[in-house]
């Protein structure tokens, strides 16, 4: 009797476990279906074109490619397609720096000029490695130089040459006093890695990260080598797709020159839970948030879920570079991972990631909205700017949840009219509409000022650059343009 009773209990437990496993599998399948429908909605609206990987509790539940890796040859994106990462590169640079710290070859409080002998001493003696890692150095970012992309970004430079010419400006603020996202800081970190190791940044990456982790589909993206499955980068303008402008990859360097796949970034994510690359103590330093919730190469935040008091620890970073935008987000408490790599910039990847996270936690989520800029462009081309503005007001009043009315939408449309279509008057009207809708949007005034400057109205250009600077004191472009305009403005 005793054995019979135990057998019954054991059988009941087995049945319960079996039923629970069926329910868990069904729940996972439901999540996979929801993720697939969500991503397809972005595809249908032309707001995503790339590869996706989602891991739940450390296990990959979804990986898939969407759209085309190469439009000339009609080649599809796949999970093993290689994409430029842009600023996701920074987390790999910070890992190399912390490895050097752990070996005693570098001090986080050591000064920039101590490790980079050719750097100017007056400012380099005040900037620490910690400042560079946390975007708090005060050194101007080279990508903020006016006309950088138009006039500088196509030319190759040696590391030392570029540091001296474009990463050595006077301070914008006292080191350590503020956060201002800064590509110069991470370029300088790459230069320091080379100076200490005596090897190229690319060689150290391969030796210390990619080879140990088996990340065979990751590397430094240069135009010369043949790289199988490398995606082409595109711009998605209002008139259709075009090849992205050329960018010499010696310039993004340690701030943004890597390529990878969603599958390799999963290997990277899994390694960050171990001591394969870095001790637990040093990894804790990497993921400790400082100003504006930025750690070392990662944004570290607590994320809320709707209808819940639960807070999720999110460790994430995005990237943007000619023809590509990217996103990686790690929810470390439950080892969830979202990787989104896109070779047609414009997608709101943070928004996509948020929706996927809500699916994983069984919470309500939003689908993408139609682009209001696309609607207005068609009306503007078929009729006139007045009709487009009237349609904007009508749709915003009657269909506020169906369209994306964010300020960036109108700003993008205005710039396209200004630079691509040479329709300055129409661009001015669109920019004016934008600041009417978003009076605190600093970039809107900067854009309007540029349009007035092109039209020859210096007074209104000065007025709007000044307003932009008032709303955003860090607007280096506004400072430079104001200096030019005021200097050349006749007295009256």
Quick check: 2 pLDDT over 80?
no
Residues 192, 427: Cα–Cα separation, whole Å:
44
Provide the residue ranges of all domains of the chain, joining segments of one domain with +: 84-360, 371-488
Give the helix/strand (H/E) hosting 370.
Answer: strand 370-371
Mean pLDDT, rounded, for 320-335: 96
CATH superfamily of 84-360: DD-peptidase/beta-lactamase superfamily (3.40.710.10)
Q: For domain 371-488, is the CATH number 1.25.40.10?
A: yes
Quick check: 8 pLDDT over 70?
no
Residues 188, 141: Cα–Cα separation, whole Å:
11
CATH topology agreement for domains 84-360 and 371-488: no
The predicted pLDDT at position 119 comes to 98
Per residue in 240-298, pLDDT tens? Answer: 899 999 999 999 999 999 999 999 999 999 999 999 999 999 999 999 999 999 999 99
Residues 6 or more apart from 158 whose CB is under 8 A from it?
250
Residues 338, 332: Cα–Cα separation, whole Å:
11
DSSP conformational letter for 143: G
Quick check: 476 pLDDT over 90?
no
Quick check: 22 pLDDT over 80?
no
Cβ neighbour number for residue 7 with a 10 Å cutoff: 10
The predicted pLDDT at position 10 comes to 53
Cβ neighbour number for residue 471 with a 10 Å cutoff: 17
Per residue in 346-380, pLDDT tens? Answer: 779 999 999 999 999 999 999 999 999 999 999 99
Average pLDDT, the chain: 92
The predicted pLDDT at position 24 comes to 42
Quick check: 7 pLDDT over 90?
no
The predicted pLDDT at position 421 comes to 82
């Amino acid at each position: 009797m005793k054995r019979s009773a135990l057998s019954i209990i054991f059988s009941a437990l087995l049945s319960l476990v079996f039923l629970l496993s069926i329910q868990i599998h069904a729940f996972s399948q439901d999540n996979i279906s929801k993720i697939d429908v969500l991503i397809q909605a972005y595809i249908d609206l032309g707001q995503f074109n790339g590869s996706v990987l989602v891991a739940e509790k450390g296990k990959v539940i979804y990986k898939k490619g969407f759209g085309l890796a190469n439009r000339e040859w009609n080649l599809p994106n796949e999970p093993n397609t290689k994409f430029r990462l842009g600023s996701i590169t920074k987390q790999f640079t910070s890992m190399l720096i912390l490895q050097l710290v752990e070996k005693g070859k570098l001090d986080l409080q050591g000064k920039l000029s101590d490790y980079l002998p050719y750097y100017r001493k007056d400012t380099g003696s005040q900037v620490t490695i910690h400042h560079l890692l946390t975007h708090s150095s005060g050194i101007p970012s080279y990508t903020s130089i006016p006309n950088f992309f138009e006039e500088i970004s196509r030319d190759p430079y040696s590391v030392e040459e570029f540091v001296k010419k474009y990463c050595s400006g006077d301070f914008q603020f006292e080191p350590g006093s503020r956060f201002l996202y800064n590509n110069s800081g991470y370029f300088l970190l790459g230069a320091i890695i080379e100076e200490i190791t005596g090897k190229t940044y690319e060689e150290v990456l391969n030796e210390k990260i990619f080879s140990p982790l088996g990340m065979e589909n990751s590397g430094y993206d240069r135009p010369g080598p043949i790289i199988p499955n490398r995606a082409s980068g595109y711009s998605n303008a209002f008139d259709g797709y075009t090849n992205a402008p050329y960018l010499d990859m010696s310039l993004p360097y340690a701030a943004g020159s890597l390529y990878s796949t969603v599958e390799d970034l999963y290997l990277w994510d899994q390694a960050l839970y171990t001591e394969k690359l870095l001790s637990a103590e040093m990894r804790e330093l990497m993921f400790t948030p400082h100003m504006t919730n930025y750690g070392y190469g990662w944004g570290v935040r607590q994320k809320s879920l709707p209808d819940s008091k639960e807070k999720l620890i999110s460790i994430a970073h995005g990237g943007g570079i000619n023809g590509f935008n990217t996103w990686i987000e790690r929810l470390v408490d439950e080892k969830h991972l979202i990787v989104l790599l896109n070779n047609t910039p414009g997608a709101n990847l943070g928004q996509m990631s948020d929706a996927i996270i809500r699916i994983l936690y069984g919470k309500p989520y939003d689908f993408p909205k139609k682009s209001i800029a696309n609607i207005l462009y068609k009306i503007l081309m078929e009729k006139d700017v007045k009709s487009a503005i009237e349609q904007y007001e009508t749709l915003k009043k009657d269909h506020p949840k169906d369209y994306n009315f964010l300020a960036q939408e109108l700003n993008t449309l205005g710039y396209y009219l200004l630079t691509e279509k040479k329709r300055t008057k129409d661009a001015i009207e669109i920019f004016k509409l934008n600041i009417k809708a978003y009076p605190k949007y600093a970039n809107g005034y900067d854009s309007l000022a540029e349009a007035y400057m092109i039209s020859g109205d210096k007074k209104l250009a000065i007025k709007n650059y000044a307003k932009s600077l008032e709303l955003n004191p860090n607007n280096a472009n506004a400072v430079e343009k104001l200096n030019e305009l005021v200097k050349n403005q006749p007295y009256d």
